[in-house]
Amino acid sequence: MKQTPVVLIHGAWFHMSSWEGWAERFTAYGYAVCVPGWPGEAHTADRARRDPGPPRDLGLAALAAHYEQVVRGFDDPPVLIGHSAGGLIAQHLLGADLGRAAVALAPLPAGGVPPADGRSRPWPLMSAGPTRHPGFGQLPRARFRHLVVNTVGEGEAEQLFDRYAVPAPLRLLADLGLDGTATGPVGTVVDTANTARGPLLLVSGQEDRMVPDAVTRSVYKLYGDSSAVTDLKQFADRGHSLVFDSGWRSVADHVLGWLAANGVEAVAPQG
């Protein structure tokens, strides 16, 4: 019995433990789940807040190269599931034919995506808050509430911040255009015209304030020249926290169903 590998890739300002529900659910369905985290990432969010450590000089190119090394270590191309900046990296790896399939949840877009509905991009408004760790920026609690967990109650919002929010390297934030000095991610190429790649699912929350639904729809349109499977799923009343707030199961179950519908079973058939 050969299990299909799944690699979960998180984004900036979130700890890898934000995938804990998904890891348990996909494992229960028979997938071989890997949550490698970032280079040198602390094992817990609390520890990462106290001492972010080695990721200080991490940039987008280095982060993408880290995950490329991870996926090349599998005997068979894995399923790539990424959230936020992780969704951008998942698309990059799929376009390079390094994944069997990919799911990009509320993905930060690659450069070239126009602003939503003619408005200014949302991410330049996200200047990082002060932190006692040089080289890192923390998304302040109030801004986390406004941009990430705007669709949940106050109590849950507080719990999610305490459980998953961590400082992010300023160099990475600059590369992603999340430090207020750029107009969007730069330096990571996504091959949207690749016709030989595996299937791709883009997922948006229609109340997302960090990566608005209109931006994800613009990303979807970039794949119009590819005949490879590209699907878009929009979740009403969901924000950027759709992968780790109390509604995460409905999103995960949709992804599980989508994978099965595209022939990506948890266990490879014998023979």
Q: Tokens at residue 220, please?
A: 């979807």
Which pLDDT score is estimated for 188?
A: 66
Are 218 and 108 spatial neighbours (Cβ–Cβ below 8 Å)?
no
Task: Give the model's pLDDT for residue 187.
Answer: 59
How much is the pLDDT for 128?
46
Query: pLDDT tens digits for 238-271?
Result: 999 999 999 999 999 999 999 999 999 999 766 4
Q: What is the pLDDT of residue 186?
A: 56
CA 152-114-98 angle, to 5 degrees, is 80
pLDDT of residue 113: 56
Entry pTM: 0.92
Query: Residue 228: its pLDDT value, please?
Result: 96
pLDDT of residue 189: 78
Q: Which amino acid is at 270?
A: Q
Percent of residues, the chain, with pLDDT higher than 90 = 75
Q: Read off the amino acid at residue 131.
A: T
The predicted pLDDT at position 125 comes to: 42
3-state secondary structure of 1: coil
Domain boundaries, the chain: 5-262
Structure tokens at 47: 């520890």
Q: Which CATH superfamily is domain 5-262 in?
A: Alpha/Beta hydrolase fold, catalytic domain (3.40.50.1820)
What are the pLDDT tens digits along the chain (271 aa)?
A: 799 999 999 999 999 999 999 999 999 999 999 999 999 999 999 999 988 877 778 999 999 999 999 999 999 999 999 999 999 999 999 999 999 999 999 999 876 554 444 444 444 444 444 556 678 888 999 999 999 999 999 999 999 999 999 999 998 988 888 766 555 555 567 999 999 999 999 999 999 999 999 999 999 999 998 999 999 999 999 999 999 999 999 999 999 999 999 999 999 766 4
Burial 193-213 (b: 16+ CB within 10 A, else e): ebeebbbbbbbbbebbbbbbb
Distance CA 207, CA 236 (A): 7
